[in-house]
Each structure stands twice: as C-alpha cells, then as structure tokens.
Structure 1
Amino acid sequence: MLASRTPVVYRAKPMTRPIMGFVRNALGLDPPASPDDPTPENRFHPWDQSPSPDLRERAARIKAMATCPVTHKDIQFTCPLSGIPTHHSREAWEKDTEYHKSKRYELLKKVNIYEHDLRSGRPFPEFDFPQDQDYDRMVNMSNWDLFFYTRSFYSMDTEFQLAAVTKMLSYPITIGSVLHQYSPYSLNPKGPITLEGLKSLAALRYTLYPEQSGRFRAGQDTPIRIFILGTRAEAQLPGHVWKQLQYLIPDTSIELHFVGPESFYDREKRSYVQSSTETIVKRIDEKMQLFYHTDFFHVFHEAQDFFPYDPYNDVFFCFHPGFAAPETEEYWMGDTMKALMQTKCAVFTTGFSKEDLLRDISIVQDKYGSELDMLMEPVPNVFGSTKWELNDTNPHEVYQFNMYIAGFRGKRYHAIEL
C-alpha cells in the first residue's frame, strides 16, 4: 500500500531578509507617524458600508444566517459602537442590557478594526520574519514579547501588528513552545505537565537535542515527524511561516505532515484535493519538508502508511479540532481517535476557549479514559493568537485561535492484575 503512494514535489523559493529594519530599530531612527498608520479611528467602518467588498459580503452573510438574541428574528441592525450587524432593530439593540453591560461591543469593534487593517493595503513590515538564530543568543519562550525580542523580529508596537503576526505564527510557535528545551510549561504542581507528559517530552527532546544527551549524529539524521490532524487554515500557511518552527530547533530536520480532507487547497482549481493514494510534498529546504495527506488519519493508519510510530520521533497536534462538536464528533471519536491511541505518541490539542477545550478533553476521557494518560492539563496557551475573530452565524460570539492547550496519549503500560 505504501509503495502506491505518489508524492508530488514542490520546491519553495529561497528566502531573503533585509537588515535595514534591524539597523533602524537599533539606532532608534523611527520615521514620523504616517496618516495611514492603523488606529482604531481610521480602521473603523460599519461592515455593511465597508470600503472592502469582502466585509460588505460578510455583513450580508451575518444578516442572512444569524438571529437576534432579543427577538430571535433575523438581524437587520448594525451596532453603531462595533460596526457589526448584531440585532434585529435599534429597539432590540437598546433592550439588550446584557450586551451593553458586558461591553461585548468592545471586542466586536476589535474584530472590525483588525479585519479592516488587514485589507487596508498598508505596508506590513512585521511580516519580514527573521531567519537563523545566532548561536550566542538564546530564545526566550516566556511570552510573545520576549519571543519577538530575542528572535529579532520587527518591533511591533501596535495591537494591529501583534494581531496580524500572532494569528499567523500561533500554529508553529505553539508547537515550538511545547517541544522546546526552554518551554514555558513546567512540571506539576507548578505547571501543567504531568509525570507521563514529562516522559513523552523527554523522549522527544532526546531526539531534538542530541548533543545535550551525549549523542552524535552519524551521516543523515532521522527527521522528527510532526503530524497535524484535521488541518484547515494552518495547512495553507506559507512555508516561511512554518520555517520559524525549525529555527527554534536548528540542528533537527522536520517533516510536517498535514492530514485531513481539507489539508491541501488547489488554488488553480479552487477546491480541496482529496485522495487516499496521493501525497503532496513541498520542500522548504534541506531541513524542512511539508507533506499533505488529503484524507482522514485513520485511512492512512489502517494502510500502515505512517508505520512504525516512534515516541522519540513522532508527535501529534490537533488545533481546535472539535472532538465534542456535534458536527465533527463522529469523525474524531471513532476510528481516528482509536488510531491516535494506538500510536502511543504524544497528542496536543488546542481550543478557542477554556470551555471549548474542556469539552474536547472530557469526551476523550469519557470514552477512552482507561486507555489514555494525560500529558498536559488544560491551561492557557502562552502563544495563542491575539487577534479576535467572529462567528458569522452568531455575531455575539468572539474567540481567538489556540487560546488553551492540553495533551494526552494512548496508555503505554497497562496494569496487570497478579
């Protein structure tokens, strides 16, 4: 079965980075503020009157799909404080005391201005990412600010710059923060990592940092395999964004395996590719390759395409998968979760909120409790996105990507009754 897989290989263009940003920051030669620089005032527009056709269409979609929380009728009124359609009428908006008391409109306004900023056409110097880390400089993984500073990112002084960059980097840096030797997550009781979690992470770090374990690589090293299941937007991130993960562990080769029916979007055909026999490969450089497996994980698992699994070399991530969501539960909690348990490898998962993640972890524990070990208790993700997002089917619901994180794995050792 494995021999029948046909890899399609793409090569990424080499990356370059000018040094003027570093010189400007080092000398404090910041240019005078431009009238086009983003502010809450110049980025605010009611969505139904937006200069962006995308956001006008989105406002129409909200009005067609969502219902007013007060009247339970369709939405026709745009909140003047947030600029987003929220209620059936002005009267309903005025009567919604919970909406005004909680000041939900403030978060909705952030959604509004962030989306307008991304479509503003301004220069985005914050997307000029750094490359290799100097060996005499240590990366600090304590939080976004220290990470950006110690990695020599462009100085991001506004919430708009942070929102744009953290949404993009949340996926690779969340992975890096878990695997890195200077991870911000420590062992219980002070941190969320359990004893079994420490064992799994120690095994992975033994591979990631061979020199520290007294080993030396002979010939070509075996890459670590990072499987990302149920991929959607994260699979469409450019290669240079994922390369930021490899810069954190520069001595290790990485294979990123995106698995799921929506893992590869063909821009020419404007549709997702789905195949259980074809693997699409993008080579970033000699240290990183991206693999796109366009079917469910259990399909490849049953075909033994990924065998053998190795807890020292393989790790799984599921970014806000919706294990417990009514529309996706059947896809996750059957053959796919059984396959994940059988790998005996670490699985880390994130959620849009604490409640979202707890629901996912609870359903896994309820169904497979005797077959799993918790590796990481649910905890706020240090590298969650700072950009606020909106649920178009319920414009009162706002969230951020990867806000909470937890980990588990199939139990390696079962108790034997004597």
Structure 2
Amino acid sequence: MTVLMSSINTLRHPMSMNILNKNTLTSLPSSQKRSLMGFVKNALGLDPSPSPDDPTPENRFHPWDQSPSPDLRERAARIRTLAKCPVTKKEINYTCPLSGIPTHHSREAWEADKDYHQSKRYEILKKVNIYEHDLRSGRPFPEFDFPLDQIHDRVVNLTNWDLFFYTRNFYSMDTEFQLAAVTKMLSYPMTIGSILHQFSPYSLNPKGPITLEGLKSLAALRYSLYPFQRKSNISLKLHDRPMRIFILGARAEAQLPGHVWKQLQFLFPDQTFEIHFIGTECLLNNEKNKYIKSAIPVVKKIDETMKLIYHSDYFHVYHEAQDFVPYDPYLDVFFTFHPGFAAPETSDLWMGDTMKALLETKCAIFTTGFNKQDITNDVEIVKARYGKEMDTLMDPIKNSYGSTKWELNDMNPQEIFQFNMYVAGFRGKRYHTIKR
C-alpha cells in the first residue's frame, strides 16, 4: 500500500508516468505491475475506450436461427426437431425475441406461457445465448493463460472462485463472459481439489456438510497429500505410488487439455497423480468426431507429476478383472460428475454392477449434480438400494466450484442448468472388528 500511495503521489508532478515506469515498476513483479498500472489508470481516467470487440450483452446477442455461427444455427434446428412446446406439446417453431432461443410452437403459445414470463426464465436463456456467441466470437481469451506453480510463501484461498483466482494470480477476470468460460473449464479439477485440500471450504457437521465418516476418509487422503506435514516420516515409503483419481462416466471432463488438469496438481505440489477416466465416452477421436474403444488403457503423460489414463469400458468390467486392485483409501478416490444415478435413461447402468463395484472399493466417492433436485434424487436412490452397505461422507451442498456458465437442454430448451452445481459424497461401509 505504501508503494501504491507513493506512486500515486508522483502523478502530481510533470513526467510522473515516466518516473512511475522507471523507478517504481522496475522493482515489482509483473502481476503487481499490471495491478498498479490498472489502478492508476482507472483513478485518472486514462483507460482507453472499450473496443467494439469487447463482449457485451448487446454485441453478443443474436437469435440462434439467424446466428453468425453455423454451430448455433444447427443447434436451433436441432431444438426445433427434438423439443416440444411446453404449452401446446407440438413442435417448436417460434424463437423467443427476449432470449433469441427457440422455445415455443408459436407466438400465441409464447404469450400464453405465464410461468415462462413470470419466472423471467428468458433472462437466463439470454445468458446462455450470449455465452455461446462469446465463445465463438474469435476474441482473444487472455483468461485462458493459466498460472503455473504457486509461490511457496503464498497460501491458496479456496473459499470461492474470486479468492482462488486472486491468490493463484490468475488473469483478472472482470466480466461474466470471462468467468463463464474459465469456471466451466476449471470446475472439474477444482471441485476435486476443493474437497481434498487441507483448506477446503467444506467443514464438519453441523456447520458444514462433512460427516464424521467423511472426515475419516478425507483425513486418510490428506495424510498422503501432505507427506511433509506428518509428525514422523517413517511411513513415507509405505505408499510408493501416485494418488489415483478415478472419474467414472467421464465425458466432457475427459476432453479437457492437460494444462487444465495440471491446475489440480499445483494445489498439491508434493504429490503425483494419475487421473483415470473411465467410461464408453471418455475416448474421443477428434478427426472422426466419434467415441472409440481401446482394448488397452490410453496414457497421456503431462509431466513427471501427472498422467491422464483413459479406459473406454464400464468400471465394473475393470473391477471384476481386478485391473485396479489393490484399492487404497489413502491413495484412491472416486468422482462421478452429474452421473444421473436416478435418471430413467441411465439408472440401470449405474445402480447394478457398477455401484456394487464402487462400494466394494471402500474408497471415498464424490458426485455432483446439475441442480439441487438432481443431486437429491441421485443420493436418495443410492440410499434406497444400498443404504445398509454405505456411509454418507458429505451431505448434498452447493458446490463452491460449480460452473458459472448457464447451459440448456436441447430436448427441452427451458431446462437450464450449470455443471457441477451441487456436490455430495459416500462410500462402501467399513465394518469395525467385533471381538468374540
């Protein structure tokens, strides 16, 4: 603060910007230079006029059926083909003028939909519209220039996105467009990191969602994640392998580039990781744009501390073949991102052999949902079918690292959601030894 005030005082004198540049700025790290110069320019009104290419709700809004993006014109056509009007139950032929997205059969049906207008659902649909156009706008995306290793004398604050970005020295994201683009991408690794980290925003019951059994599982994982904080390092060699993070039903998260997943490892610099993506949609052939199967795991090595490994079949197949044994609750953890345990179209795939295999590992399992109802349904169906065989680790709660980007379901364009909005946790019950 002293440096900042002295720098502002120099602006009262001639050639003050030269003095500031030559003297003060040379002694500061680049990130502080940007912050200091930004503060000074804002204070004096020296910022240049906004570029017409800078994203705003006005210049990013286009009706999808008239979009400059072929992708969104095709998506509008897909909605018209797949979705039904909520009022008439007929095909959708009318584009809402407020959101720019096809939503109803006709203008008359649109006007008659009182719930749509009273809930102002069109406001969120408009956000969906402008976010999608921004991603296709061709503007520079400096927010994707992610930071590298954390400075050792700076502590990461995981309370929320804003404090995380600030303490990790991310590019300053001042608009909803930048936040939407980055949080959707980082939501997957940061959901994992925020749960496992010693400074997790989730605390123990009754103030937080973590149960006593959850604390036991997290304590075991953190024992491995922070080896140099142990009172004794005698057991350092007991776990001589990377920590394995299994992501079941992997889809979009399996397509994230390595530098995005590397942000997870930067939170735990003393640990190495293997991230195992498991599922029939985890391995995408980009040239043919279709999912493929591989008889052997496909390995992508990011560096010496992280590998991404793709397994293109269901988890219970590998579990029955004992490909991953032995499981270790100190070094293995499972995640399922909005799996749809209770969804009619996917419930049978999850709630049979796969769920039995998951619970048999006795390792922590965390799952996310698109909204509160989604996560509640998923947790309840697991409890209903396997209640006597499982322990709750984390009660359903809003995810501090859910995506801020709004999405919609093409089969029902009024169904809007955000990725990883809620999170919960459970594991197979660990029975205590009984003396006889």
Asked if these proteins are the same fold (TM beyond 0.5), I'd say: yes
Paired with 1:366 and 1:130, the residues of 2 have a C-alpha distance of: 44
The residue aligned with 1:291 is: 309
SS at match of 1:395: strand
- How far residue 140 of structure 1 moved from its aligned partner, in angstroms, is 0.2
Contact 2:84–2:92 under 8 Å retained in 1: yes
- How far residue 190 of structure 1 moved from its aligned partner, in angstroms, is 0.2
Q: Deviations over 1:360-404 (max 9, x none)?
A: 000000000000000000000000000000100001110000000
- How far residue 27 of structure 1 moved from its aligned partner, in angstroms, is 2.5
SS at match of 1:360: helix
- Could you say if the C-alpha distance between residues 81 and 295 of structure 1 is closer, same or farther in structure 2, counting changes exceeding 3 Å? same
The residue aligned with 1:34 is: 51
- How far residue 22 of structure 1 moved from its aligned partner, in angstroms, is 6.0
Paired with 1:128 and 1:220, the residues of 2 have a C-alpha distance of: 34
Q: Which residue identity lines up with residue 244 of structure 2 in the other structure?
A: R
Paired with 2:187 and 2:399, the residues of 1 have a C-alpha distance of: 9
Q: Deviations over 1:283-323 (max 9, x none)?
A: 00000001001100000000000000000000000000000
SS at match of 1:278: coil
- How far residue 269 of structure 1 moved from its aligned partner, in angstroms, is 3.5
Q: Which residue identity lines up with residue 132 of structure 1 in the other structure?
A: D
Which one is further off, 255-264 or 220-229?
Answer: 220-229
Are 1:171 and 2:181 matched, yes or no?
Answer: no
- How far residue 270 of structure 1 moved from its aligned partner, in angstroms, is 2.7
SS at match of 1:347: strand
Q: Which residue identity lines up with residue 236 of structure 1 in the other structure?
A: Q
Paired with 2:232 and 2:169, the residues of 1 have a C-alpha distance of: 30
Contact 1:221–1:253 under 8 Å retained in 2: no
SS at match of 1:211: helix
Paired with 2:365 and 2:239, the residues of 1 have a C-alpha distance of: 27
Contact 1:22–1:154 under 8 Å retained in 2: no
- Which of residues 278, 296, 303 is equivalent to 1:259? 278
Paired with 2:239 and 2:51, the residues of 1 have a C-alpha distance of: 51
The residue aligned with 1:24 is: 34
Tell me which structure has the larger Cα radius of gyration: 2
Paired with 2:390 and 2:435, the residues of 1 have a C-alpha distance of: 18
The residue aligned with 1:236 is: 255
SS at match of 1:255: strand
User: CA RMSD, aligned part only?
Assistant: 1.7
Q: Which residue identity lines up with residue 196 of structure 1 in the other structure?
A: E
Q: Deviations over 1:117-170 (max 9, x none)?
A: 000000000000000000000000000000000000000000000000000000
Paired with 2:152 and 2:198, the residues of 1 have a C-alpha distance of: 15
Paired with 2:250 and 2:348, the residues of 1 have a C-alpha distance of: 17
Are 1:412 and 2:405 matched, yes or no?
Answer: no
Contact 2:31–2:169 under 8 Å retained in 1: no
- Which of residues 371, 386, 396 is equivalent to 2:414? 396
SS at match of 2:244: strand
- How far residue 218 of structure 1 moved from its aligned partner, in angstroms, is 5.6
Aligned length: 399
- How far residue 64 of structure 1 moved from its aligned partner, in angstroms, is 0.7
Q: Which residue identity lines up with residue 329 of structure 1 in the other structure?
A: S
Q: Which residue identity lines up with residue 25 of structure 1 in the other structure?
A: S
Contact 2:160–2:401 under 8 Å retained in 1: yes
The residue aligned with 1:307 is: 325
Q: Which residue identity lines up with residue 367 of structure 2 in the other structure?
A: T
The residue aligned with 2:94 is: 77
Paired with 1:296 and 1:113, the residues of 2 have a C-alpha distance of: 36
- How far residue 23 of structure 1 moved from its aligned partner, in angstroms, is 3.6
The residue aligned with 2:381 is: 363
The residue aligned with 1:8 is: none
Paired with 1:218 and 1:320, the residues of 2 have a C-alpha distance of: 36
TM-score, normalising length: structure 2: 0.89
Mapping 1:20-99, distance limit 5 Å: 23-28=33-38, 32-99=49-116
Contact 1:376–1:407 under 8 Å retained in 2: yes
- Which of residues 129, 133, 147 is equivalent to 1:130? 147
Q: Deviations over 1:14-47 (max 9, x none)?
A: xxxxx86664234216654211100000000000
The residue aligned with 1:352 is: 370
Are 1:372 and 2:390 matched, yes or no?
Answer: yes
Identity percentage of aligned residues: 72
The residue aligned with 2:349 is: 331
- How far residue 238 of structure 1 moved from its aligned partner, in angstroms, is 0.2
SS at match of 1:117: helix
The residue aligned with 1:6 is: none
TM-score, normalising length: structure 1: 0.93
Contact 1:340–1:410 under 8 Å retained in 2: yes
Paired with 2:148 and 2:217, the residues of 1 have a C-alpha distance of: 29
Q: Deviations over 1:222-242 (max 9, x none)?
A: 211000000000000000000
Paired with 1:296 and 1:151, the residues of 2 have a C-alpha distance of: 36
Paired with 1:346 and 1:31, the residues of 2 have a C-alpha distance of: 51
- Which of residues 117, 129, 133 is equivalent to 1:112? 129
The residue aligned with 2:166 is: 149
Higher relative contact order (CA 8 A, sep 6+): 1
Paired with 1:153 and 1:31, the residues of 2 have a C-alpha distance of: 22
The residue aligned with 2:8 is: none
For structure 2, which runs of at least 5 residues remain unmatched after alignment? Answer: 1-28, 42-46
Are 1:278 and 2:296 matched, yes or no?
Answer: yes
The residue aligned with 2:138 is: 121
Paired with 2:432 and 2:373, the residues of 1 have a C-alpha distance of: 30
- Which of residues 350, 366, 384 is equivalent to 2:402? 384
Mapping 1:221-232, distance limit 5 Å: 221-232=240-251
Paired with 1:184 and 1:210, the residues of 2 have a C-alpha distance of: 21
- Could you say if the C-alpha distance between residues 31 and 274 of structure 1 is closer, same or farther in structure 2, counting changes exceeding 3 Å? farther
